[in-house]
Amino acid sequence: MTTETNSGTGVITVYKVSGMTCGHCESAVSQEISALNGVTAVAAVAETGEVTVTSAAVLDEDAVRAAVDEAGCELAGRA
């Protein structure tokens, strides 16, 4: 399922991530996704397993998956 919104600040996409259990995980996921081209903001919440990403354009899901994998978690899809 996809949650994408085109706002005045860009495209907002909410992803579901499994394996995010603490603040360190939130930070690692946020840092990796923030490094992707076009990403302007990331908010990761371990409690819900959701990561909200604001970007200039729709991101390639494989790139997001690779970033989340690098952080030690798993992209479960879009919320």
Q: Tens-digit pLDDT profile for the chain (79 aa)?
A: 346 667 677 899 999 999 999 999 999 999 999 999 999 999 999 999 999 999 999 999 999 999 999 999 999 977 6
Count of CB atoms within 10 A of residue 51's CB? Answer: 28
Determine whether 67 is exposed, middle or buried from the number of CB atoms within 10 Å of its CB (0-12, 13-18, 19+): buried
pLDDT, position 7: 63
The fold of the 4-78 domain, in CATH, is Alpha-Beta Plaits (3.30.70)
Domain-wise residue ranges, the chain: 4-78
pLDDT of residue 5: 67
Strand, coil or helix: 15: strand
pLDDT at 1: 34
Rounded Cα–Cα distance for residues 41 and 21 (Å): 21
What pLDDT sits at residue 48?
96
Q: For 22, which DSSP code?
A: S
